[in-house]
Each structure stands twice: as structure tokens, then as C-alpha cells.
Amino acid sequence: MSWKFVSTWHEPLRQALIPRKGDVIGTSEWAELVGQLPGIGSQAQFIHPSDHCINMNNKGACDCAETDRALVKQISRGQYLVL
């Protein structure tokens, strides 16, 4: 996945995560949340928390990775704190 694809979903994701600020969410909960984004369809499977993470920077991650605009912080494997 390209950087542009990942970043397309940054803002809708950010808005979806606002009510969950401070919560720790697991991967299944993340998938559920992403699945509810309008227009996401089958692209949901490509939206990973690790691409919008303050303490991780994967190849092809969103440009928010490792910045103060990141959406989540990985606290353990598969567990993310919503920032």
C-alpha cells in the first residue's frame, strides 16, 4: 500500500477515534471500528493501527507515524492506546 492510500484514511480514522480517546483497543475492536467508516468497504483490511502509530514507523505508514499527529500508541502486541 502506498503512502497516499494510507493517508487518505487518516482523517476519517481520526474522527472515528475521537470518542475512544484514552481507550486501549485490540485488533478485533480496531477492525470493527474501521469497518464502520463510510465508504471503506473491502479496503478496511488494509487499514492498520501500526500505520498511524506514534512509536512505530512501518514501511508505507501514514505521514503521521512517529509524529504528534499519530492516532495511536502501541502499548503491547496488538494493543493500542488511542491518543
Task: Please identify, among the stretches 6-14, 17-25, 28-36, 39-47, the one whose residues bind Zn ion according to the rule CB under 5 A.
Answer: 6-14
By CB under 5 A, the count of residues binding Zn ion is: 4
d(CA 35, CA 45): 8
Between 29 and 63, CB nearer to Zn ion: 63
Q: Does 64 bind Zn ion (CB under 5 A)?
A: yes
The least distance separating Zn ion from the CB of residue 9, rounded to whole angstroms, comes to 8
